[in-house]
Amino acid sequence: MPPLSRRTWSWTFDLPPSVLWPVLADTNRFNEAMGLPPYLLEETPQPNGTVLRRGRGKAAGFTLEWEEKPYEWVLGRHFNVSRVFSKGPFRRFGPVFDLEPDGKGGSLVRYALEWEPLTLMGRLFGKRLAEQAGAAVGKRVLEAVSFLKGERETPFELPKPALPEGAFERAAAMAVEIDRSPYGNGLGRVLTGTVLGGMAGDLAHLKPKRLARQIGVAPRAAIEGCLASVRAGLLTMSWDLLCTNCRGPKLSASALSELPRGAHCPSCNIDYDRDFEKNVELTFAPAPSVRPLMAGGFCLSGPMATPHVAVQLLLAPGERRRVSVDLPPGRYRLRTLHPGETIDVEHEGGPFPGLRVTAAGVEALPPSGEAGTIEFVNEAGFELAALIEDRTWTREALTAPEVISLQAFRDLFAAATLRPGDEAGVSQVALLFSDLRGSTALYERLGDAAAYNVVREHFALLAAIVRDHDGAVVKTIGDAVMASFGDPADAVRAALSMQARIADQDLTLKLGVHMGPSVVVTLNDRLDYFGSTVNMAARLQGQSAGGDVVLSRAVADDPAVQGVIADVSKREEEVALKGFDKPVGFVRLAPPVTPSPNLSP
C-alpha cells in the first residue's frame, strides 16, 4: 500500500487564534468559496449504534465516492478530517489545520494536506493535485484574514451565482414591496442584495439575528425585515426542529401547524422530542424564483456545523489520548456520537474530568490534576467519536416563543397557528394587561362614535409602544389589551411608557404585569396563552387604581427590572385574589408623567 503523503503550508498573522478560529474552521463556507459542489450523505445505522456516512460527488473532474469519518477538533487549536474513498484518485484525502499563539498576540497557522493514492492517476498526479488544492486554500485563508482585519467587505471572492431569468427584476420589485411594509425597516435593497449575492451556505438556513450583526442593524429590525420579505415573496419561512444532540435542523416545516412533536436524527441515530422554546427555530431561505439552492451542504460535519462542541475526537478501539485544551467555566456534557449514557459537568475552572467510553456510553474519569489537559479512553471495542459540548443553547437562534411575541409576526401571519389539539409549553413569558378606567362614562360623555374613535386611537398607541419594546399584542378584550414579551424588563418599560403617553390623552389606564410559565394554544384562530400566569396578570391589572403599574413580585424581583424601576416611586402591597389560595404580594409603581431617559428600550 502506498505511504501517506503530506504537504504543509504555514502563515503568521497578527490576530489571536480566538479571532481566526470561527472563520478558518468554517469548512462549509471554505468549501463553497473553493468552488466545490454541495453534497448529501447517505446515513446508515450500524448494529453498534454508530452511523456509517457515505457521500458521492464530483471535484476537479473526478467522480468520487467515500466514507465520511467524523471530524476531529479542539476548539481554537486544531481540526482534521479523513475521508476514505472507494472511487476517485485517492484512498484517503483530508486537511489538517493547527493554530497556536505566537507569543506576541498573533497566531501561527499551519495547514497540511494528507493523501494516499488509490489509482494510477492518484500516484502520478497526487502531489500536483495536492499543491493545487493547497494553493486554493491558502488564497482563501488570506482573503478571510484580510476580512477579519477590516480590509475587505466580504470573507471571500465568489463567482456570481447562476440565477433564473428575470431574478434581478423580480428582486427589485420585491425590494420596493418590502420597503412599503411597516415592518420592512428600509432593508429592501440590503435583503435582496443578500439573497442575490450571498453565500449559498449562509442562505440555506438564514438566521436573522446573525444577519443583523452582519449588516449592522438591531435584531428586531432584521427579524421584521425577513418576515416582510416572506410576504413580499423574496424569502420562504421554515420552522426547524433541531436535534437535541447535534442541534442540526433534521426536520423542517413551512407552517407551525405541520410541526410534529418529535423527530429522528439519522446523524446521531436518536429520537428526540420537541421543546418549543429550545429546539424549534424559525429560519429563512431564498424563494426559488429568485435564488434556487442546490440540496445538501458544502461540508456537513465541520467544527462550525456544531459550534457548541468544544472537543471531538475519533478514537480507535483501545486508544488512549490526551489533548491540551483549557475550557472556561461553564455547563458541559460528555457524550459520544452514538446513543448512550452521557455525563453533565458543572465546570468551575481548573482540571477538567476525563472521558472513558464504553459500549453503553460515557463515564467520567477523575481530572488528571493538570489544568488544560483532558484524557480520552475508548473501551467500547469499536471506533467512535467522543466529545465535550457546551450545554448552553445559542442565543443566535430565533426560537418559537420569541417569534410569537413579536408584533410583526402576529400582524403578518395571523393565520399561523398550532394544529387543533396541539399545545406547546414555554417556561417564561411576561404578560401585560391593560384596561381603561371609566370607559363607560367616556361613552356617555362623548357619545358612542367619538368615544369609539378615542378608544381605537388608544389601542393604536398601546400597540405601537408594545412593538417598540419587542412585544406583541395577543388580543384585545373590550377596552383591554393583552400583550406578551420575551423579557420582563421590556414589559415594564412598555408599561411605564404607556402611562407617560396616555396622560396626554386625558385617559386613565390600569396596568398589570406578571411573568411565569404558560401554555401556547390556538384560540379563536389565533395563537394565545393559557394558564395561571395569564390569570395572575389579569388579576393584578384589576388591582391597578389607574395611572399606576402593578407588578407581581416575580417581575419586580427580576434583576433587569430592578434597574428599570430604581428611580420610580413604588409601594409593596399584598391582597387576596380570587382563584389563589394565599395572599399575593405585588409592587405598585407610581411613574412620573414624562418618561425618564432610562425608560427607553
Task: Please measure the distance between the N-terminal and C-terminal CA atoms of the chain and give it in whole angstroms.
Answer: 67
The pLDDT confidence band at residue 220, using thresholds 50, 70 and 90, is very high
Separation between Cα atoms, residue 350 and residue 366, nearest integer Å: 12
| Beta-strand runs (E) in 206-318 | 235-242, 249-253, 262-265, 270-273, 280-286, 309-315
Pick among 3.30.530.20, 3.30.1330.20, 3.40.50.970, 3.40.50.850: CATH of 5-148: 3.30.530.20
Burial 536-571 (b: 16+ CB within 10 A, else e): bbbbbbebbeebbbbbbebbbebeebeebbeebebe
- pLDDT, position 377: 96
Backbone torsions φ then ψ of 439, nearest 5 degrees: -70, -30
Give me the count of residues in the chain: 601
Backbone torsions φ then ψ of 109, nearest 5 degrees: -115, 125
Predicted confidence (pLDDT) per residue in 561-577, tens digit? 999 999 999 999 988 88
Predicted confidence (pLDDT) per residue in 457-515, tens digit? 888 999 999 999 999 999 998 888 999 999 999 999 999 999 999 877 778 899 999 99
Do 437 and 529 meet the contact criterion of CB atoms below 8 Å apart?
A: no
- pLDDT, position 600: 39
pLDDT > 90 in the chain, percent: 72
- pLDDT, position 442: 65
Separation between Cα atoms, residue 383 and residue 111, nearest integer Å: 26
Query: Could you tell me whether strands 354-358 and 373-378 are parallel, antiparallel, or unpaired per DSSP bridges?
Result: parallel
pLDDT > 70 in the chain, percent: 95
Provide the CA 411 distance to its chain's centre, in angstroms: 23
Predicted confidence (pLDDT) per residue in 92-140, tens digit? 988 999 999 999 999 999 999 999 999 988 888 888 888 988 899 999 9
Residue 310 clears pLDDT 90, i.e. is over it: yes
Say whether 325 sits in a helix, a strand or coil: coil
DSSP assignment of 339-368, as one string? S-B-EEEEE-SSS--EEEEETTEEEEEPP-
- pLDDT, position 597: 42
- pLDDT, position 272: 93
DSSP H or E segment with residue 225: helix 219-232
Which residue has 465546570 as its cell numbers? 347
Lowest mean pLDDT among 41-45, 125-129, 318-322: 125-129
* Nine-digit cell string for 121: 492517476
Residue 419 clears pLDDT 90, i.e. is over it: no
Of 30, 54, 32, 58, the closest CA to residue 43 belongs to 54
Residue 453 clears pLDDT 90, i.e. is over it: no
- pLDDT, position 596: 41
- pLDDT, position 271: 93
The pLDDT confidence band at residue 525, using thresholds 50, 70 and 90, is confident
Mean pLDDT score, 436-456: 69
Predicted confidence (pLDDT) per residue in 64-73, tens digit? 999 999 999 9
Residue spans per domain, the chain? 5-148, 167-303, 309-390, 417-599
Residue 455 clears pLDDT 80, i.e. is over it: no
Residue 594 clears pLDDT 70, i.e. is over it: no
- pLDDT, position 598: 44
Mean pLDDT score, 510-539: 92
Q: How far is CA 318 from CA 17, 343, 378, in A?
A: 32, 20, 5
Mean pLDDT score, 47-57: 92
Mean pLDDT score, 593-599: 44
Of 221, 208, 220, 238, the closest CA to residue 179 belongs to 221
- pLDDT, position 438: 61
Is it true that domain 417-599 has CATH number 3.40.50.720?
no
* Nine-digit cell string for 543: 388591582
* Nine-digit cell string for 259: 410541526
Alpha-carbon dihedral of residues 541, 598, 215, 306, nearest 10 degrees? Answer: -70
- pLDDT, position 266: 92
- pLDDT, position 1: 56
Do 72 and 65 meet the contact criterion of CB atoms below 8 Å apart?
A: no
- pLDDT, position 595: 45
Task: Name the β-bridge partners of 44.
Answer: 52
Predicted confidence (pLDDT) per residue in 165-211, tens digit? 999 999 999 999 999 999 999 999 999 999 999 999 999 999 999 99
Alpha-carbon dihedral of residues 538, 542, 543, 547, nearest 10 degrees? Answer: 110
Query: Could you tell me whether strands 78-80 and 72-74 are parallel, antiparallel, or unpaired per DSSP bridges?
Result: antiparallel
Residue 156 clears pLDDT 60, i.e. is over it: yes
The pLDDT confidence band at residue 579, using thresholds 50, 70 and 90, is confident
Lowest mean pLDDT among 68-77, 309-318, 344-353, 503-512: 503-512
Mean pLDDT score, 59-84: 92
Q: How far is CA 249 from CA 42, 241, 282, 452, in A?
A: 16, 6, 10, 48
Separation between Cα atoms, residue 493 and residue 483, nearest integer Å: 13
Mean pLDDT score, 445-457: 71
Do 333 and 386 meet the contact criterion of CB atoms below 8 Å apart?
A: no
- pLDDT, position 415: 84
Predicted confidence (pLDDT) per residue in 376-400, tens digit? 999 999 999 999 999 998 788 999 9
Q: Residue 191, Cβ neighbours under 10 Å: how many?
A: 30
DSSP assignment of 378-410, as one string? E-SSS-EEEEEEE-SPPTTS-BHHHHHT-HHHH
